[in-house]
Copies of this chain bind each other. A is one copy, B any other.
Amino acid sequence: MKIVIIGSGNVAYHLCKAFAQNHISVAQIFGRNETDLKQISAELDIPFSTTALADADLYIICVSDDSVSEISKLIKNENSLVAHTSGSLEKEILSGNYRKASFYPLQTFSRAKMLNYSEIPFFIEAEKREDEDLLLNLAEKISKKVMRSTYEKRKYIHLTAVFSCNFVNHLFARAKEISDREEIPFDYFLPLIKETTQKIEHIEPKLAQTGPAVRNDQRVLQLHEELLPSDEHRKIYKTLNESIKKMYEL
């Protein structure tokens, strides 16, 4: 099976790397950004092109949501299977006369950061059962956690990921603004952060809640409101405390 990866960003890079680590050959990596393509090509020994899309049995599109439809029009081979990697797009966004699929890895990818691919859940959907099986088999060569998933489900997976990843990172960023202002090294908070996330591997998050809001500790809540350095901090503080109180019916 001839595989072509389209895109040169973090998802494309890590997917190429995961394939390489598992001895799955990628025939070409195709995209617009020559600098990035050259780097990936050199590191992982995969041919690249910015102009001539190679013929393939399977195209995996790893570009931003906005570009998926446009990029997918470049694929002219009607006997190919084309999958995108987005958590929030239907497979029907793919524009062409080929078999359509979704190949969604649930992870946050940064270029510099090594990842254990075998732990990344992959969610697979295709029009035909045999294509779904093909993609399941392919993903299973990378990861231990591969599942079928419809778009209906995938969009909720993506929404859950926004709460537990994107929003969590933003809280870290806002927390760091507070500690930076007071010249408290943010490193001090890393063991606490690590423990907070390790805890929920064993304890239901709802049962692991600590802090002034769940204790309904009015004195501390009041004290904190006076310390908050900006309106944005204040809004987050109020919204999350109110949500905590609602959850525990305080």
Contacts and interface: CB of A to CB of B under 8 A. Distances in A.
Interface of A: 64-66, 88, 106-108, 110, 112-113, 115-116, 119-121, 145, 153, 155-176, 178-179, 181-182, 184, 186, 188-206, 208-215, 217, 219-220, 223-224, 227-228, 232-233, 235-237, 239-240, 242-244, 246-247
B65 A192 contact: no
Contacts of A115: 195
25 contacts: A65-B217, A66-B217, A107-B192, A108-B192, A108-B210, A113-B203, A156-B184, A156-B227, A157-B182, A160-B189, A162-B237, A163-B236, A164-B192, A165-B192, A165-B195, A166-B209, A166-B211, A167-B240, A168-B171, A169-B200, A169-B210, A170-B247, A176-B204, A232-B242, A236-B243
A193 B197 contact: yes
B210 A165 contact: yes
Given A192-B164, A247-B232, A220 B175 contact: no
A189 B174 contact: no
Contact of A165 (B106, B193, B224, B246): B193
B206 A173 contact: yes
A162 B196 contact: no
Contact of A156 (B66, B153, B160, B178): B178
A209 B243 contact: no
B190 A163 contact: no
Contacts of A220: 65, 88, 158
